[in-house]
Structure 1
Amino acid sequence: MQPFDIQNRTRFIFGEGAISRLGDLSAQYRPACVMVVSDRGIMEAGHDAAAIASLKAAGLRVESFHDFAENPTSAMVDAGVRRAAHVKPDLLVGLGGGSSMDCCKGINFVYSCGGTIHDYHGVGKATCDLLPMIAIPTTSGTGSEAQSFALISDAETHAKMPCGDRRAAFQIAILDPVLTLTQPPKVTALTGIDALSHAIETYVTKRRNPMSIAYSRRAFGMLASGFPRVLADPTDLDARGQMQLGACLAGMAIETSMLGAAHAMANPLTARHSITHGQAVGMMLPSVIRMNGSLHPDWYGELMREIEPATGDDKAVERLATCVTGWLRQAGLATTLEELSIADTEIAALADDSLKQWTGTFNPVPLNIERSCDLYRSVARKPAV
């Protein structure tokens, strides 16, 4: 049995309307200034105003930073650090999707410890304690609220830099499913597929352990049940709650189990062709499941029995891969490179880039150039009928 050393560093608060508690929760840190990190879409949805109102009701001075976008870059982190240097916060709030929470962590690394975000690429690179942070996810995808990693892209090369340190964990995560009701359908689809990929990948990594298995398995059960429901009825608040908790549990699994080949294959698609992460990882996942299933059909059997108790190990791999493809289609997402206008001539370069991704090192079936090329070829185009 795989040994583990796990300490939950984040307090999780779940419930409808939980965002109203932000001010009181923040006040316990006695901050002179709170800086809210949220993108402009969150402002338009009104969540930024709700957070600020709660903070001000608690008598706190509030400043904001909004100048970043999806897949935050080193340049966006630099802009946030300049804003922090001006307003001098002693508490940060990451409000929004994974981009907001990752950008918040990235700003904290550099503002608290100096240098540039490149100095924190890797694990355990923080040189001092970071400011306390509170996460308020408004999507059900990355699970960043449960992780001590920030994923920041280099502004020049677009390479993704995982920056992890135990001191970069949020002190508090407020999970309010009401906030996820404002997601556009496309965001619901992309983040939902991302969360499902986390539950599935963490279940089979080389670092899987009894704790991560429990997180992954329960996350998959909640997400696989909730995802079709929120696609069919975006106002289903119970299903939204399932998705938010499932994404959080999958994030907890990532923290101790890491990810695998589907993420290693997805990152070059994002870097080279600006394919949204959820789209990229979802498209690659069925082929990765089939590859890993050649070694561990029993693991996928356990996972499938969370939603289909009668599924045997001999049927589980193909059944799970088919389920993922079905969810992609239900969500209106592409299942082939051809649909994304990516030519076969790109495969060699994509495969080479995939072997440089850290997540691939945790995959149960080791990646090499042949396997990587085969995985991309498997999704090049729909099979002839």
Structure 2
Amino acid sequence: MQPFDIQNRTRFIFGEGTISRLGELAAQYRPACVMVVSDRGIMEAGHDGAAISSLKAAGLRVESFHDFAENPTSSMVEAGVRRAAEVKPDLLVGLGGGSSMDCCKGINFVYSCGGTIHDYQGVGKATCDLLPMIAIPTTSGTGSESQSFALISDAETHVKMPCGDARAAFRIAILDPALTMTQPPRVTALTGIDALSHAIETYVTKRRNPMSVTYSRRAFGMLAASFSRVLAEPGDIEARGQMQLGACFAGMAIETSMLGAAHATANPLTARHSITHGQAVGMMLPSVIRMNGATHANWYGELMREVDPSVSDGEAPGRLASLVTRWLREAGLATSLEELSIAESSIEVMAEDALKQWTGTFNPLPLDAQRSLDLYRSVARKPAG
């Protein structure tokens, strides 16, 4: 049995309307200034105003940083650090999707410890305690609220840099499913596929352990039961809550088990072709399941029995891969490079890039050059029919 060492560092508060508690929760840290890190879309949805109102009602001074976008880069983090230097916060709030929460962590690394975000690539690189942070996810995708990692892209090379440290964990995560109901349908689809990929990949990594598989399996069960529901009935608050908790649990699994080849092969699609992460990882996942299933069918069998107790180990990888493909189609997402207008001539360079991704090292089968090529070739063309 794989040994593990894990300490839950984040307090989780779940429930409809819990964003109203932000002020009281922040006040316990006695901050002179709170900086809210949220993107422009969050402002348009009104969540930014709700958070700021709660903070101000608690008598707190509030400043904001909004100048970043999806897949935050090192230059966006630098802009946030400059903003922090102006307003001098002693508490940060990451409000939004994974980009907001990752950018918040990235700013905290550099503002608190100095240098540039590049200095914190890897694990345990913080040189001092970071400012306390509160996470408020408005999507059900990355599970960043439950992780001590920030994923920041280099502004020039576009390579994603995982920056992890126990001190970068959020002190509190407010999980209010009502906040996720303002997502556009495409965002619901992309973030939901991302969450599902986390639950599936964390279940079969080299670092899987009794704690991680518990989180992965429960996450998969909740996400699988609710994903189609939120696509068909966006106002279903119960399904939204299941998606949000499922994404959070999958994030807890990532913290101790990491990810695998689907993420390793997805990252070059994002870096070189600007394919949204949920689309990229969802497209690659079925082929990765089939590849890993050749030797680990029993693991996928355990996972699939969360949704169908009658599934045998032998049929589980194929059934699961087909289920993911069905979800992609329900969500209106592509299942091939052809549908994304990506030429097959780009496969070799992406396959080389995939081998440089940290996540690939945790895949249960080594992601070598041939397997990387085979994975991309398997999704090159749109399936017939």
Q: Give the structure-1-normalised TM-score.
A: 1.00
1:74 and 2:69 aligned: no
Q: Which amino acid aligns with 2:113?
A: C
Q: For residues 261 and 52 of structure 1, what CA distance do their matches in structure 2 show?
A: 40
Where does residue 279 of structure 2 map in the other structure? 279
Q: Which residue of 2 aligns with 1:346?
A: 346
Q: Deviations over 1:319-340 (max 9, x none)?
A: 0000000000000000000000
Shift of 1:384: 4.1
1: CA distance between counterparts of 2:153 and 2:15? 33
Give the whole-Å Cα distance in 1 for the aligned partners of 2:232 and 2:5.
Answer: 40
What does the per-residue CA deviation read over 1:48-105, in whole Å, with 9 as the maximum and x for residues that have no partner? 0000000000000000000000000000000000000000000000000000000000
Question: What is the 5 A alignment of 1:270-349?
Answer: 270-349=270-349
> Secondary structure at 2:295's aligned position in 1?
coil
Deviations for 1:214-259, whole angstroms, at most 9, x for unmatched residues?
0000000000001000000000000000000000000000000000
Matched, 1:369 2:379: no
SS at match of 1:157: coil
Structure-2 residue corresponding to 1:17: 17
Aligned counterparts of 2:280 and 2:249: Cα–Cα separation in 1: 22
TM-fit CA distance, 1:352:
0.1
Q: Within 5 Å, which residues of 2 pair with 1:61-100?
A: 61-100=61-100
Task: Return the offset for 1:270.
Answer: 0.2
Partner of 2:124: 124
Where does 1:210-289 land on structure 2 (aligned, <5 Å)?
210-289=210-289
Identity, % of aligned positions: 85
Residues 268-290 of structure 1 show CA distances to partners (whole Å, capped at 9, x for unaligned) of 00000000000000000000000
Deviation for aligned residue 1:382 = 2.3
Shift of 1:116: 0.3
Distance 2:83 2:7 in 1: 32
**Is residue 339–residue 382 contact of structure 2 (8 Å, CA) maintained in 1?**
no
Correspondence list, 1:350-361, <5 A: 350-361=350-361
RMSD value over aligned CA atoms? 0.5
Report SS of the residue matched to 2:32: coil
Whether 1:146 aligns to 2:146 is yes
CA distance in 2, matches of 1:265, 1:43: 33
Cα distance in 1 for residues equivalent to 2:156 and 2:95: 26
How many residue pairs were aligned? 385
Aligned to 1:176: 176
Question: Any conservation in 1 of the 2:151–2:162 contact (CA below 8 Å)?
Answer: yes
Q: Which amino acid aligns with 1:17?
A: G
The alpha-carbon deviation at position 383 of structure 1 amounts to 3.6
Gap runs ≥5 in structure 1: none
- Distance in 2 separating the partners of 1:140 and 1:267: 20
